Chain A
Amino acid sequence: MFPKSAAVALAALLVSSLTAKAETIPVLVPITGFLSLEGTAQRNGAVLAIERYGKDLDLDAEVTDTGTSPEGAVTALRRALEDKPSAAVASMLGTQMLAMLPIAGRAGVPLLTVSGTAKITEIGIPWVFRFFPGDSVVKVAQARYAVEELGAKRPALLYQTTAYGQSGAEHLRRIMQDLGAPLVFEEAIDISVKDMLPALTRMQEAKPDLILLHLHSGSTALVIRQARDQNIALPILAGSAMHQPTTAALLEPQQLGGVCAESASSPISEPEGPVEDFTAEYRARFGTEPDAFALAQYDGASMLIAAKNAGARTATEVRDWLASNSYDGLAMTYKSDGKGNMAHDALIVCYDGESAVPAIKRRYENVSGVK
Chain B
Amino acid sequence: MSTIALTQILLNGLALGAAYALIALGFVIVLNAAGAVNFAQGELVMAGGFAAIALAPLIGEATALPGLFLLPLVMGLMGLVGAGFAWLAYFPVRKRHQVAVFVSTIAAGLVLQHLANALFGAAPRAGPPLITGDSLSIGAFSVSLQQIAVMVCAALLISGTGLFLGRTQTGRRMRAVAQDPEMAAAIGIRPKRMITLSFALAIALAGAAGLLLSNQFFVSPNDGGLFMLKAYIAVTIGGWGRLDGAVIGALLIGIFETLVAALASYLVAEALLYAVLLVMLVFRPSGLLPERARARV
What is the size, in residues, of chain A's interface with B at 8 Å between Cβ atoms?
A: 36
Q: Which residues, 200 to 219 on B, are CB-close (under 8 Å) to A? A: 213, 216-218
How long is the Cα–Cα vector from A209 to B30 in the complex, in angstroms?
Answer: 50
Q: Is the CB of A34 within 8 A of B12?
A: no
Instruction: Indicate if A187 sits at the interface (CB-CB under 8 A).
Output: yes
How long is the Cα–Cα vector from A221 to B144 in the complex, in angstroms?
Answer: 17
Q: Is the CB of A250 within 8 A of B258?
A: no
Q: Is the CB of B270 within 8 A of A231?
A: no
How long is the Cα–Cα vector from A39 to B221 in the complex, in angstroms?
Answer: 14
Q: Is the CB of A198 within 8 A of B121?
A: no
Q: Is the CB of B122 within 8 A of A31?
A: yes
Instruction: Indicate if A361 sits at the interface (CB-CB under 8 A).
Output: no
Quote the shortest CB–CB distance from B148 to chain A (angstroms): 13
Q: Is the CB of B9 within 8 A of A197?
A: yes
Q: Is the CB of B144 within 8 A of A222?
A: no
Quote the shortest CB–CB distance from B101 to chain A (angstroms): 24
Stretch at the interface among B75-83, B161-169, B260-268: B260-268
Q: Is the CB of B266 within 8 A of A188?
A: yes
How long is the Cα–Cα vector from A34 to B269 in the complex, in angstroms?
Answer: 21
How long is the Cα–Cα vector from A39 to B121 in the complex, in angstroms?
Answer: 11
Q: Is the CB of A250 within 8 A of B218?
A: yes
Interface string of B118-134 (1 = CB under 8 A from A): 00011111100000001
Overall SS of chain B's interface: helix
Interface string of B1-25 (1 = CB under 8 A from A): 1000100110011001000000000
Q: Is the CB of A201 within 8 A of B217?
A: no
Residues of B within 8 A of A217 (CB): 123-124
Instruction: Indicate if B135 sits at the interface (CB-CB under 8 A).
Output: yes
Residues of A within 8 A of B123 (CB): 37, 217, 244, 246-247, 249
Residues of A within 8 A of B218 (CB): 218, 221-222, 250
Residues of A within 8 A of B266 (CB): 187-190, 193, 198-199
Q: Which of A33, A193, A195, A218 contacts B13 (CB 8 A)?
A: A195
Q: Which of B13, B113, B124, B262 contacts A32 (CB 8 A)?
A: B113
Q: What are 18 sample pairs from A and B whose C-beta atoms fall under 8 A apart? A: A31-B117, A32-B114, A32-B221, A36-B220, A187-B265, A187-B266, A188-B267, A192-B226, A195-B217, A195-B258, A197-B12, A197-B262, A229-B135, A230-B142, A246-B121, A247-B123, A249-B123, A250-B218
Please provide the 5 A-B residue pairs with the shortest distance between their CB atoms, ordered closest to farther: A36-B122, A198-B262, A246-B123, A198-B261, A194-B217
B: residues with CB less than 8 A from A are 1, 5, 8-9, 12-13, 16, 113-114, 117, 121-126, 134-135, 142, 144, 213, 216-218, 220-222, 226, 257-259, 261-262, 265-267, 269-270
A: residues with CB less than 8 A from B are 31-34, 36-37, 39-40, 161, 187-190, 192-195, 197-199, 201-202, 205, 217-218, 221-222, 229-231, 244, 246-247, 249-250, 288
